[in-house]
Structure 1
Amino acid sequence: MRWWMLAGTALLASQVAAQEAAPPRAAKKPFQVTSPNGARADDYYWLRDDTRKNPEILAYLKAENAYADARLAALKPLEAKLYAEAVGHIKQDDSSVPYPKKGWWYGQRFATGADYPLIERRRGSADAPAVIMFDQPAMAKGKSFFALSDWSVSPDNRLVAWAEDTVGRRQYVLRAKDLATGRVFDDVVSNVEPNVVWADDNRTLFYVAKDPVTLRGYRVMAHSLGTPVSADRLVYEEKDDTFSMSVGRTTDDRYVCITVSSTVSDEQRCAPAAAPTSFAVIAPRAREFRYGADHQGGRWIIRTNRGARNYKLVTLADADAAKGVAGWRDLTPASETVFIEGFKPFAGFVAIDQREGGNRMIRLLTGAGRSIPVKADEPAYRMALSVNEEPGTPWVRYTYGSLVTPTTTYEVNATTGERRTLKVTPVPGYDPASYVTERVWATARDGTRVPVSLVYRKGVARDGTAPLFQYAYGSYGISSDPSVDPGRIPMLDRGVVYAIAHIRGGQEMGRGWYDDGHLLNKKNSFTDFIDVTRYLVARKYAAKGRVAAMGGSAGGLLMGGVANMAPQDYKVIVAQVPFVDVVTTMLDASIPLTTFEYDEWGNPAQKPYYDYMLSYSPYDNVSAKTYPALYVGTGLWDSQVQYYEPAKWVAKLRELKTDTNPLLFRVNMEAGHGGKSGRFERMKQNAEWQAFVLSQLGVAN
C-alpha cells in the first residue's frame, strides 16, 4: 500500500463519531414543473423561498451547516494551518499602484489585520499627503456583509458618488458626499446597479435602476443632488428583457454613453457630457452584431465582430458620424487566430488587449500603423491593460503574471519602447524559482486540442503518484487566466499539481472556442474537462485515484455535469454556488438573470433546447450510483444562483447516491454569490474546503 493511501489514517479515530451522525434528509413533497414541452416531477421544489424566511427551509439549511461542522471538526487543525499559511503569503499592509487623473493620484491601502482597504487620493503627486475618500473598515463595521463597488469623482473633483451593498444580493444603494467636508448627502437611491456616472454640471448623476423582482437593470435614470428620488428623470428604458445595460463616459470625457448588451447583440447611444439630454445611437442593434465604442482625438474607435468573428477595431471620424456603419473604416484586420479582448485609445496610438494561442497579451498600434507586441518569457501567462486615465501620455500601464510569477504592474512607452516596473505584488515566504509552470495541450475526444496551464513545486515526481487539483469555468466567453494565488501556495507546498483547464465555453482560443461550448454545444465543456483529467493522469502528472475538481457558479454547473458523467475519475469535487437546476430556472423568467441567458443556455420553451438542457442538467440527471466526495457551497442571499438550486441538488444526491463518500453542504446565511466579504473572511472560507480536499486526497498530514 502506497504512503499516500495511509496518509489520512491518523484522522480516522477522530472522524468516526462525525461519520456516524446521520446527514440531514429533506422531505419529499410532490410537485410538477410544467412547461410547453411537458411536466417533470420535482420533489424538492418546495425548498425555494424567495423571502428567505420559511422556518422549515431555514431549519433544513441550518441542519446542513451543523452536519458539515460535525464532519469537518477533525480537520479544524489543518484548516487553521492552511489559513495561517495563506495569510502568511500576503503583505497585510499592502497598497496599490497609484494612478493619476485630473491632477489627483488615486489608490488604495490596506492596514495590517484589516479586511477592507482605505481608498485615498493625493493632490498633484503620488508622494503628497493622503486624503481618505472611503474608510471602508469603518463603513463595514457592524455589518455581516459589505461591498463598496463603483465610485466616481465629479468633474470638478469636489464630490464623490458610490454604490454599496450591505446584504450580498447585489441590490446596491447609491450615495454621494462632499470630499472636502466629508458631508454625506441625504440623497439615497436604492436597488441600483453598481454603476454611477456624473454629468459635467457636477450635480447630475446617471445610474441604472433594477427591476425589483428580476433584478435586471432596465432603466437609466438621472438624479440631481438635493432633489427627491421620486423626481429622477427617466433617460432610457430597455424593453427587451434579454438585454442588460450600463452607463459610462468615453476616454476623452466628452460623452456619456448608455450600452445595452445581450449575448449576441449590442447597442450604444451617447450624448455630450456637457448637455446629456439627447442620446444618439452609434449603430442600431442586430442579432449576431456586437460592438463597443470609445471616443478620443476627434474620432470613435469601435471594437466589433462585424465581418470579424474574433473582433476587429474600426474607426469613425466625427465628420462621418451621421453615416453610421457606412462610415466605419478598418483599423485592424480580421483574424482567425487573434481575438481582440479590448482596447484603450491614447493620443496618437491604441493599446490592444488580445488573445492568441491561449494566452492574453498586449500590443500597441501606432498612428503610423506599426504594431508593437509586448513580449513575455513564460509559456502560460496573462497580460491585461491596467488603469490608464490619462490619454495624453505615451506610457501605457499593464499587468503581467503567471502561475509562478506574481502580478507585476509595468508601464511601457509607446514611442521609445522603454519599460518600467512599477510594482511586483509582494508574496512573503514565496520563491517563484521553487515552482514550475507548463502549458500542455490535451486532446479531447473529438480531436480538439485543449490548452491546460499547470503549476507544481519543483521536486514533485512525474511518476503517476501526485495529487491533482483541476479548475475550470468555461461559460459566457469568460476566460480563466493564470496568476499566483497566495491561498493556492499551501496546496502546492504539499505536493499538489494545480491545473487550469481552458475548456470550450471560454474565449481563450477566440470566439469560436466560446461558440463550441454553449447552447447546443454545451456538453463540450464537460467532456473537455474530463478529457483533460484523463490526459494528465495518462501522462503521469497525477494518480488516477487522487484527482480533485473545482468550479463555481456556471463552473459549478460544470462540476455537476462532470459528477454525473464521470464520477469514477474524481476523488473529490468542490462546487461553489453551482448553477445545477438549469431547466427549471431557465423556464422561470421571474428569476434574476434568466432572460439574459437564453442565448447562453437556450430557451427551454423551445423543444430542441429543452431536450438538450435536460440531457445535461445536473439536478435532473442525478441517479443511483457512486459519486465522489462533494463539498457544495452557497449563499442564502445569492442573486446570481439562488440558494435553492444547490439545496435541491444536495437533497436529491442524498436520496439517490449509493456510496458512503461525504457530501457536505455549506450555507453562508449572511452572504450572496461571492461568499462573505472581506479578504480574511474569504481566506477562512477557502481554508475549510481546502482542508476537506486535502484530506480526501490523502495529503492532510
Structure 2
Amino acid sequence: MTHHQHSRCDNYYWMRDDERQDPKIIAHLEAENAYCDAQMSPYQELEQDLFTELKGRIVKDDSTVPVKDGAYWYSSEISGEEEFARYYRADDGHATNKQLLLDSNTLAQEHEYYDLGEFSISPNDQLLSYSEDTDSRRIYTIRFKDLTTNTLLDDVLENTEGQAVWANDNKTVFYVKKDLKTLLGSQVYRHVLGTSQADDVLVFEEQDDSFFMGLGKSRDESLIMLDLEATETSDTWVLDANNCHGEFVQLCPRVKGHEYDADKLGDTFYIVTNWQAKNFRLMTANNTTIHQQALWQELIAHRDDVMLECVELFNEFKVVTEREKGQIRFVVYQADGSSYPLEFNDACYYAGLGENPEPDSNKARLYYSSLTTPGSLLEFDLATGQSTVLKQQKVLGDFDSALYQAERIFIKARDGVEVPVSLVYRKDMFGKNGQNPMLLNGYGAYGITFDASFSVNALSLLDRGFVYAIAHIRGSEMLGRDWYEQGKKAHKQNTFNDFVDVTQALVQQGYAHADKVFASGASAGGLLMGAVANQAPHLYKGICCQVPFLDVLTTMLDESIPLTTNEYDEWGNPNDVDAYKTILAYSPYDNIRAQDYPNILVTTGFHDSQVQYWEPMKWVAKLRELKTNNNLLLFKTDMDAGHGGASGRFNRLKEEALELAFFIGLLQDKK
C-alpha cells in the first residue's frame, strides 16, 4: 500500500473477509480459540471459581424502581437464571393491574445473540414499538404490538438504527434506515401503521457521511427532533409532531465546529452550545429567534474552568450537569432565578441524570456510584434539595464498603500537565510500600470520560490485594474541552504518554510493584493498549485488549469500512500527508517490532461492526511473527457477538472471568 510516496507491506491483509464466510479464516479463529483455552488450562479452575464468584454477587431476582410516564408506571424484572429482563407497566407505583409488555427471554429463545434495542409507547398508550438485533451488528428490526389486545401487528421495519419515534396521531412513526455497507444511518423514513415498509416515504437524507443520525422528541413532545452529529459539528432539524406530513426544518445553519444540543419546553428552546464558548454555555431562544444565533439569549455563561455538559428541563426547574476539576455536579435552577448545587461526599464518583419523563414533576432522579459505593438511584426534591435513596445495587456475599478506600490524585506528565487518577484498594491489604499488584484502565478518546464508578467485578481483584486505578488521560473531557483537544489528531501521542507516565508514577509512589502492573482497555482503549505495548512494553506484566482498534492507518484510509468517514475529526484524515505521518507514528499494527512484549490477552467479536475482527486478528499474527520472548499471546473471538460482547447478564461474566483469570493467574506463575 503506497500513500504520499510511502509504502507499507501488510502480510496479513488476507485475513479480512467482509462477508465473514471464508472457511479458512473461521478455522483460523477457532484454532486461536482452542489455543487460548489450552494456554489458559492451568488457570481453568481459577477461571471457573471466578465465574462462580462473579455470578454469586448478583441478585438473581431483581427489579427496577417504577417510573411514571403519562398514565402508567413502567418497570422491569429479572428472575432466577434468566439472562434478560421482562418489562411491565402498571396503574401505579405499587404494581396495581400490572401488564407484561415484553419478555426478552422469550424473544431471545431462538437466537445465539439477542439485544432488545429501544421500545416506545404511542401517545395514546395503546401501541408499543420495539427493536431487536439478533446478529450483533447493531442493525435493528422494529416490530409493533397492540397493548389492548396483546397481539403483534403485521408491520415490520428492517435494517434500522432501532429508534421509532411516534407522531402525535398514534399511527405514524419515523425511523432511520441503515446503509448495510457503511452501517451509517443517513435516511429518515415515515411509516404509517398497516402499510408495507416498501411504501414508506423518505422524508430526509443526509449526504455527508461524517454525521451520525438520531431521532427523538422534544421535552414537551411537540417536536420530532432529528439530531445529526459529527465529531466536531452538530445539526438539528425539527418537525411538528402534530403535522407528520410536514417537512423537517433546520434549527440553525450548520457551521463546522459548532456543537450544540437543543431541547424545547413550552415556548422556549434551551441550547447547550460551544458557540464562542469552548466549555459550552446555556442559551435560550423562541420559535422566531432559534433560527438566528445572534438573537439567542445567554442563560448560563461560559466559564474557563467549568464544563457545562447538559440540562434537564422541568416546568419549574432546570437541572444543569457540570464538571469542574474532573468532578460532576448538578446545579438546580429555580423559577425565580436562584440556584443551588446537589452535593456528594466521595473523593471520586460518577453521577448522572436518571429517567425523568415527566416535566411537570418537582422531583428528579439521579444515578450515583463511586469506587466504593454500589450504584444507587436517588430522588431529589427540587424545591428543597432533600434526597431519598430509592434503591441501591445489592452485592451478595460478604461485601462491606468500609473495607475499601478510594483516592483521587494528580500525576504530573512529562510535559508538566497534571493527569487525574482515580484509585481504589482494600484497606487491610494495601500498604503504600510498592508491593501490591495493580490493574490500570484507560480510554482517552472521543471526549468520552471514563468516570470512577463502582465495579462489582473489580472486587475479585481488590479482595486479592490488587489496586484498581483509572487514568483519566487526555482525549476525554475530564478536565474540560481542552483536555479532549489535547488528546486527538496531531496531539494523540499525549494520550499514550499520559498513560505511561501515570503507570511509572504509581509504581514510584508505592501504589504498585513494578513487576505486578497490568493494563486493560476496550475499543479506542484497546488502541491505547496496543500503543503502550509498543512504546513501553517493559512496564506491564500483562495487558488485555478488548475489541481493540489497532490497524488505525489502514482502516482510516479505507472508506469502504463501516464508520471510517465518521472518524476523520477524531484521528485525522490520512489522505492528508501530515495526518498520515501522525497516525503512522503510533498505529499499533504498523509499529510492532522485534522486542519483548508483555503477556497479552486479546478479545473480540466476530460480528463487531465498529472495530472489524480482522484488526486484532492481524495484530496478533504480526506479534507472533516479531515478538522476541515467550510471554503469553492469547486471542479469543466470540463467534456470535459484536462490539458489545456476549448478550445476557451471566454470559457476559464468562468473558470477565477469563480476563480476571489471566491477570490473577499470571501472578501465580503457572504458565
Shared topology, TM-score over 0.5? yes
Rounded to whole Å, the distance in 2 between the matches of 1:685 and 1:48 is 24
> How many equivalent pairs are there?
668
* Aligned pair partner of 1:357 in 325, 330, 339: 325
Aligned equivalent of 1:616: 586
- Whether contact under 8 Å (1:691, 1:700) holds in the other structure is no
Determine if the alignment matches structure 1 residue 291 to structure 2 residue 260. Answer: yes
Paired AA for residue 19 in structure 2 = T
| 1:508-559 C-alpha deviation (Å, 9 max, x unpaired) | 1111111000111111111111111111101100000100000000000000
Aligned equivalent of 1:25: none
Rounded to whole Å, the distance in 2 between the matches of 1:406 and 1:176 is 36
Rounded to whole Å, the distance in 1 between the matches of 2:457 and 2:464 is 13
- Whether contact under 8 Å (1:694, 1:700) holds in the other structure is no
Rounded to whole Å, the distance in 2 between the matches of 1:94 and 1:508 is 33
Over 6 Å off, 4+ runs: none
Determine if the alignment matches structure 1 residue 237 to structure 2 residue 173. Answer: no
Aligned equivalent of 2:371: 403
| 1:369-397 C-alpha deviation (Å, 9 max, x unpaired) | 22211101111011111100010011111
Percentage of identical aligned residues: 43
What SS class does the counterpart of residue 308 from structure 1 fall into? coil
Determine if the alignment matches structure 1 residue 629 to structure 2 residue 619. Answer: no
Alpha-carbon shift at residue 195 of structure 1 (Å): 1.7
Alpha-carbon shift at residue 36 of structure 1 (Å): 4.8
- Whether contact under 8 Å (1:622, 1:653) holds in the other structure is yes
What SS class does the counterpart of residue 209 from structure 1 fall into? strand
Aligned equivalent of 1:94: 62
Aligned equivalent of 2:426: 457
Rounded to whole Å, the distance in 1 between the matches of 2:542 and 2:490 is 28
Alpha-carbon shift at residue 50 of structure 1 (Å): 0.4
Deviates more, 1:652-661 or 1:129-138: 129-138
Aligned equivalent of 1:575: 545
Aligned equivalent of 2:478: 508
* Aligned pair partner of 1:566 in 536, 542, 551: 536
Rounded to whole Å, the distance in 2 between the matches of 1:140 and 1:696 is 37
Aligned equivalent of 1:483: 453
* Aligned pair partner of 1:279 in 223, 248, 256: 248
TM-aligned CA distance change 1:188 to 1:37, over 3 Å: farther
Unaligned runs of 5+ in 1: 1-32
* Aligned pair partner of 1:171 in 139, 146, 152: 139
Aligned equivalent of 2:412: 443
| 1:547-587 C-alpha deviation (Å, 9 max, x unpaired) | 00000000000000010000000000000010000010001
Rounded to whole Å, the distance in 1 between the matches of 2:16 and 2:367 is 43
What SS class does the counterpart of residue 155 from structure 2 fall into? coil
Aligned equivalent of 2:287: 318
- Whether contact under 8 Å (2:315, 2:359) holds in the other structure is yes
Alpha-carbon shift at residue 320 of structure 1 (Å): 3.4
Aligned equivalent of 1:648: 618
Paired AA for residue 107 in structure 2 = M
Alpha-carbon shift at residue 37 of structure 1 (Å): 4.9
What SS class does the counterpart of residue 585 from structure 1 fall into? helix
- Whether contact under 8 Å (2:342, 2:385) holds in the other structure is no
- Whether contact under 8 Å (1:407, 1:484) holds in the other structure is yes
Determine if the alignment matches structure 1 residue 377 to structure 2 residue 325. Answer: no
Pairs within 5 Å for 1:146-157: 146-157=114-125
Rounded to whole Å, the distance in 2 between the matches of 1:312 and 1:377 is 26
What SS class does the counterpart of residue 469 from structure 1 fall into? strand
- Whether contact under 8 Å (2:189, 2:201) holds in the other structure is yes
Q: Return the TM-score normalized by structure 1.
A: 0.94
Paired AA for residue 192 in structure 1 = T
Aligned equivalent of 1:15: none
| 1:434-493 C-alpha deviation (Å, 9 max, x unpaired) | 100010111111111111110111111221010000101111011111222221111110
* Aligned pair partner of 1:669 in 639, 649, 666: 639
Rounded to whole Å, the distance in 2 between the matches of 1:320 and 1:560 is 49
Aligned equivalent of 2:297: 329
Rounded to whole Å, the distance in 2 between the matches of 1:657 and 1:306 is 49
Rounded to whole Å, the distance in 1 between the matches of 2:226 and 2:209 is 16
Rounded to whole Å, the distance in 2 between the matches of 1:362 and 1:512 is 21
Aligned equivalent of 1:134: 102
- Whether contact under 8 Å (2:537, 2:596) holds in the other structure is yes
- Whether contact under 8 Å (2:317, 2:332) holds in the other structure is yes
TM-aligned CA distance change 1:190 to 1:34, over 3 Å: farther
Aligned equivalent of 1:7: none
Rounded to whole Å, the distance in 1 between the matches of 2:158 and 2:432 is 55
Aligned equivalent of 1:526: 496
Rounded to whole Å, the distance in 1 between the matches of 2:323 and 2:462 is 28
What SS class does the counterpart of residue 186 from structure 1 fall into? strand
What SS class does the counterpart of residue 251 from structure 2 fall into? strand
Rounded to whole Å, the distance in 1 between the matches of 2:164 and 2:374 is 32
- Whether contact under 8 Å (2:90, 2:97) holds in the other structure is yes
Alpha-carbon shift at residue 431 of structure 1 (Å): 0.9
| 1:152-191 C-alpha deviation (Å, 9 max, x unpaired) | 1100101111111001111111111112222112222221
| 1:240-289 C-alpha deviation (Å, 9 max, x unpaired) | 01111111001111110111110111111111111132222111111110
Aligned equivalent of 1:20: none
TM-aligned CA distance change 1:374 to 1:699, over 3 Å: farther
Aligned equivalent of 1:159: 127
Alpha-carbon shift at residue 416 of structure 1 (Å): 2.0
Determine if the alignment matches structure 1 residue 76 to structure 2 residue 52. Answer: no
Aligned equivalent of 1:541: 511
- Whether contact under 8 Å (2:66, 2:93) holds in the other structure is no
| 1:118-160 C-alpha deviation (Å, 9 max, x unpaired) | 1111123343232111101111113110000111110010111
- Whether contact under 8 Å (1:360, 1:383) holds in the other structure is yes
Alpha-carbon shift at residue 699 of structure 1 (Å): 8.8
* Aligned pair partner of 2:159 in 175, 186, 191: 191
What SS class does the counterpart of residue 666 from structure 2 fall into? helix
Deviates more, 1:366-375 or 1:627-636: 366-375
- Whether contact under 8 Å (2:187, 2:202) holds in the other structure is yes
Determine if the alignment matches structure 1 residue 553 to structure 2 residue 523. Answer: yes
What SS class does the counterpart of residue 29 from structure 2 fall into? helix
- Whether contact under 8 Å (2:67, 2:93) holds in the other structure is no
- Whether contact under 8 Å (1:292, 1:303) holds in the other structure is yes
Rounded to whole Å, the distance in 2 between the matches of 1:343 and 1:292 is 9
Aligned equivalent of 1:390: 358
Alpha-carbon shift at residue 418 of structure 1 (Å): 2.1
Aligned equivalent of 1:692: 662
What SS class does the counterpart of residue 192 from structure 1 fall into? strand
Rounded to whole Å, the distance in 2 between the matches of 1:195 and 1:40 is 42
Unaligned runs of 5+ in 2: none
User: Over aligned residue pairs, what C-alpha RMSD do you find?
Assistant: 1.3
Determine if the alignment matches structure 1 residue 680 to structure 2 residue 650. Answer: yes
Pairs within 5 Å for 1:202-281: 202-276=170-244, 277-281=246-250
